[in-house]
Amino acid sequence: MSESSQKISRRDFFKASGLIAAGAVGGGAVLGGLRKARAAAVPVKPWDSKFSACDMCFNKCGLIARVEDGVVTKLDPNSKFLKSRGMLCARGNAGIDQVYDPDRLKYPLLRVGERGEGKWKRISWDEALDLAAQKMEAVRKDYLPCGHLFSAGTDLHSQFVGRFAEVYGSFNVTSHESLCLVSNNRAFLDTFGEVPFADVLNSKYIVMAGANRFEALVTPDSIDLMTAMRENGCKLVTLDPRYTKTAALSDEWYPVKPGTDMAFMLALAHVIIGEKLYDPQWVEEKTYGLEQLAEHVKQYTPGFAADQCGIPAEAIARIARELAEAAPAAMIYPGRRSSDYEDSTQIRRSFAIVNGLLGNWDRPGGLLAARVVGLKGVPYEAPWYDENHEDRIDADKVPMMFEHEGSFLLTRDAVLAEDPYAIRGWFIYKTNPMATVPNRKKTIEMMNKMDFVTVVDIAMSDTAWYADLVLPSQSYLERYDPCSGLQGSSACACVVKRDPVIEPLYESRSLFDVMKGIANRMELGEYFDFTIPEYREKQLRELPGAEKILDRDGVYYNPSKVYGIYDGRIYKTLSKKIELYNQRYEQMGIDPLPVYTVPTKVPANRFRLVVGRNALVTQGSTANNALLHQLLPTNTLWINPNAAKKFNITDGDLVEVSSSVGRQEIKAEVTDRIREDTVYMLSGFNTLSTRQHLAHGNGASIAEILEGGYDTVTGNAALHTTFVTVTRKVA
């Protein structure tokens, strides 16, 4: 895509955003007014308005669906929904096109050709559930319960995949998070004792390294960041090899050399400690290991960091002083996706440590602890199977994997090697590893290892395309969902739920109904012997009146404490303090303080391929959305003009991008918004599935090119360690 066409897309986006904002502050009245004028002649209610929560990404923004004659005609933001500040983004508006996508799965399909050949036979739900149960029983009998893998994406029904796996007896459950945020969570959990929420709104100084909050939207942070900057004078410093929209709106942008953020952070710590810019009493009372840290960071001078990351030493020292001056209302923004390098946990530990020195924990403008939401768990007594493997298939490969998330890459390697045991069945719900996991060919190999793969999804994703049985799931506007507790930083701690806004389309069923149907056929029905409304009653048992408020407002707020949550409480670490120096790491043979490693040099005539987001893309699930397709018709390869010139590439040329694992063709977008040694493309395009007519054969699949490195502490994917060649395709 050319830069000019990118500008048109951006204008379109802001136009759409303007409409959305109008909707938030009274657009409903404006549009409703037009409707009412028409309705004056025919006295019928023009539309029903029904609360729901968006499902186009993980944020779950509150919305109001306008329904006419059983059809959703518009999605408006719920102005009472504080977490999103009454906003519904372009993707949120495009939720309609997910529901009414002509490519949507309509009935159960059984594969009749080879995997990936695209030959399917329509079958009934009874046949489908009988078959799924029979195959799962067979796998459990032949390979023990852990011989079956379960994978679920971010969804309010995904907890029922976990419940099913547990009562079935498998420990092997993976989520999307080991392709995303687990190293960030690991680092902050191991420093502060919990994963924080950033009080962006009240911050005076934010350093954002690698995060792109004005495009990769996180609520309320994305909206609050703009408010903080425009209304509260917050300063934003961005480190990113790309000139993102966040970079464009920052006070300062540094095109940091990829993989060197840790050097920058340790140099900040060097200055803050060396010049005693921290609050000595706070650090003494609340943190552990200042002495060791001080000794450790002596070597990481601003000059050293400047040589590594390309940011001038004077700027590094100045930023450290400015941060300290603004502290505690200052922060190194924790970010979210941290699946970048093989030391991504230690990189984020360096972020966390600087925050510790700023004394910003649990204070306005800093990092906040989770607030009380009040939802309760719904426990169950899962059976125990003595005849089973002892642990997960990916156990003991890295020292600090989150067991409830697993590591997809380690699981895949173990499945392929059949080490320590064989896995032959795979149940997948609303996640698309074929589009999101590096090295797509290897994921196909993993598929080929399976005796039977069942996929439940709304669309024929690439993962569904390679499955044996594909079951059509309901969209978020067609089903009952369990309640969900959301953390909205200083904005709120709240509860949302979803009720059906329209009748389910086609033969779609909810994941819960699918699990219940299979469980009933496997004598596991007792674990699913309830309805979603009954389940919600149990979740809400300690929040009397909450259900009524949810029905009235579409959201329930718990007026719980925001700041000072840790007053008089210990930190959940071994030292019971914020661990600048991590004692458990030392015990486990992991560096207790982050040790900087120089990233592998980009080989001659190659580029580092980096991953990123824009506001119109959610992984592999939005490229086939008709509305979003209008705003973003394809993906392109960002390449710097100097690099492009060297390889005789001009804007719009078709280029081949090759790594050690795959190659793709894509149009070049020659732009100075990226470093010379780096190239970038969006994910989700060029599906193998022909049943995604807007995404198939369109652009390039980044999953085909990315290699499969991982973080050595958590097993999180390392998505920024692939080097590629870029060659102009001759017509």
For residue 251, what are its two tokens? 């006070």
Q: Which stretch binds another protein (CB under 8 A): 36-44, 103-111, 298-306, 568-576?
A: 568-576
Q: Measuring CA to CA, which residue among 584, 575, 193, 220 is closest to residue 361?
A: 193
Judged by beta carbon, residue 112 or residue 570, the one nearer another protein is: 570
Cα–Cα distance between 161 and 141 in angstroms, integer? 20
Residues 190-219 that bind another protein (CB under 8 A): 190, 193
Cα–Cα distance between 629 and 631 in angstroms, integer? 5
Q: Which stretch binds another protein (CB under 8 A): 51-59, 185-193, 449-457, 476-484?
A: 185-193
Q: Which stretch binds another protein (CB under 8 A): 255-263, 373-381, 452-460, 527-535?
A: 373-381
**Chain position carrying tokens 């059906």:** 500
For residues 88 and 54, the answer to whether their CB atoms sit within 8 Å is: yes
Judged by beta carbon, residue 69 or residue 542, the one nearer another protein is: 542
Cα–Cα distance between 70 and 600 in angstroms, integer? 57
Judged by beta carbon, residue 237 or residue 486, the one nearer another protein is: 486
Judged by beta carbon, residue 220 or residue 374, the one nearer another protein is: 374
Judged by beta carbon, residue 34 or residue 570, the one nearer another protein is: 570
Q: How many residues bind another protein (CB under 8 A)?
A: 25
Rg (Cα) of the chain, in Å, rounded?
25
Taken in order 650, 651, 653, 657, the sign of the CA dihedral is positive
Q: Does residue 710 belong to the site contacting another protein (CB under 8 A)?
A: no
For residues 319 and 254, the answer to whether their CB atoms sit within 8 Å is: no
- The 375-414 contact track toward another protein, x by CB under 8 A, reads -xx-xxxxxx-----xx--------x-xxx----------
Judged by beta carbon, residue 15 or residue 404, the one nearer another protein is: 404
Residue 567: Cβ-neighbour burial (10 angstroms; 0-12, 13-18, 19+): exposed
Write down the least CB distance from residue 589 to another protein, Å: 14
Write down the least CB distance from residue 162 to another protein, Å: 9
Give, in order, the Cα–Cα distances in Å from 35 to each of 22, 76, 408: 16, 15, 50
Write down the least CB distance from residue 493 to another protein, Å: 15
Write down the least CB distance from residue 513 to another protein, Å: 22
For residue 418, what are its two tokens? 């059949």
For residues 705 and 658, the answer to whether their CB atoms sit within 8 Å is: yes
For residue 695, what are its two tokens? 């995404």
Cα–Cα distance between 321 and 161 in angstroms, integer? 49
Judged by beta carbon, residue 103 or residue 194, the one nearer another protein is: 194
| 464: helix, strand or coil | helix
Q: What is the DSSP letter of 627?
A: H
Write down the least CB distance from residue 731 to another protein, Å: 55
Judged by beta carbon, residue 574 or residue 661, the one nearer another protein is: 574
Q: Which stretch binds another protein (CB under 8 A): 248-256, 268-276, 374-382, 719-727?
A: 374-382
Cα–Cα distance between 297 and 355 in angstroms, integer? 15
Q: At 270, which amino acid appears?
A: H
- The 528-557 contact track toward another protein, x by CB under 8 A, reads --------------x---------------
For residue 336, what are its two tokens? 């979210």
Write down the least CB distance from residue 499 to another protein, Å: 23
Write down the least CB distance from residue 384 to another protein, Å: 4
Judged by beta carbon, residue 318 or residue 376, the one nearer another protein is: 376
Cα–Cα distance between 228 and 75 in angstroms, integer? 28
Cα–Cα distance between 309 and 347 in angstroms, integer? 13
Judged by beta carbon, residue 143 or residue 171, the one nearer another protein is: 171
For residue 254, what are its two tokens? 């540094």
SS (H, E, C) 94-144: CHHHHHCCCCECCCCEEECCCCCCCCEEECCHHHHHHHHHHHHHHHHHHHC
- The 573-612 contact track toward another protein, x by CB under 8 A, reads xx-x-------x----------------------------
Residues 152-171 that bind another protein (CB under 8 A): 171
DSSP assignment of 500-534: -SSPPPTT-B-HHHHHHHHHHTTT-GGGG-S-HHH
H-helix or E-strand spanning residue 495: strand 492-498
Cα–Cα distance between 579 and 611 in angstroms, integer? 31
Write down the least CB distance from residue 301 to another protein, Å: 33
Judged by beta carbon, residue 208 or residue 401, the one nearer another protein is: 401
Judged by beta carbon, residue 192 or residue 243, the one nearer another protein is: 192
Write down the least CB distance from residue 693 to another protein, Å: 40
Q: Which stretch binds another protein (CB under 8 A): 74-82, 99-107, 122-130, 570-578?
A: 570-578
- Among residues 38, 119, 441, 572, which is the contact residue for another protein, using CB under 8 A? 572
Judged by beta carbon, residue 229 or residue 590, the one nearer another protein is: 590
Write down the least CB distance from residue 481 to another protein, Å: 17
Write down the least CB distance from residue 396 to another protein, Å: 13
Q: Measuring CA to CA, which residue among 308, 337, 326 is closest to residue 209?
A: 337
Write down the least CB distance from residue 183 to another protein, Å: 13
Write down the least CB distance from residue 281 to another protein, Å: 24
Q: At 577, which amino acid appears?
A: K
Judged by beta carbon, residue 298 or residue 572, the one nearer another protein is: 572
Dihedral of CA atoms 491, 496, 502, 507 in degrees, nearest 10, equals 130
Give, in order, the Cα–Cα distances in Å from 431 to each of 139, 188, 238, 286, 697: 22, 26, 31, 40, 21
- The 90-119 contact track toward another protein, x by CB under 8 A, reads ------------------------------
Write down the least CB distance from residue 560 to another protein, Å: 16
420 upstream amide cis, omega within 30 of 0? yes
Query: Which positions ≥6 away from 569 have C-beta within 8 Å?
Result: none
Write down the least CB distance from residue 150 to another protein, Å: 15
Write down the least CB distance from residue 408 to another protein, Å: 17
Judged by beta carbon, residue 231 or residue 542, the one nearer another protein is: 542
Q: Which stretch binds another protein (CB under 8 A): 371-379, 486-494, 521-529, 611-619?
A: 371-379
Write down the least CB distance from residue 132 to another protein, Å: 25
Judged by beta carbon, residue 410 or residue 705, the one nearer another protein is: 410
Judged by beta carbon, residue 60 or residue 577, the one nearer another protein is: 577
Cα–Cα distance between 152 and 157 in angstroms, integer? 9
List, in sequence order, the alpha helices (H) in 377-424. Answer: 408-417
Q: Measuring CA to CA, which residue among 307, 309, 296, 213 is closest to residue 261?
A: 309
Q: Measuring CA to CA, which residue among 409, 405, 512, 505 is closest to residue 459?
A: 505
* β-strand partners of 425: 148, 452
Judged by beta carbon, residue 193 or residue 210, the one nearer another protein is: 193
Q: What is the DSSP letter of 71?
A: E
Q: Which stretch binds another protein (CB under 8 A): 189-197, 304-312, 511-519, 602-610?
A: 189-197
Q: Would you report the helix, strand and coil content of the chain in percent, each value rounded to 5?
A: 35, 20, 45
Write down the least CB distance from residue 484 to another protein, Å: 13
Q: Which residues form the interface with another protein (CB under 8 A)?
A: 171, 189-190, 193, 376-377, 379-384, 390-391, 400, 402-404, 542, 570, 572-574, 576, 584
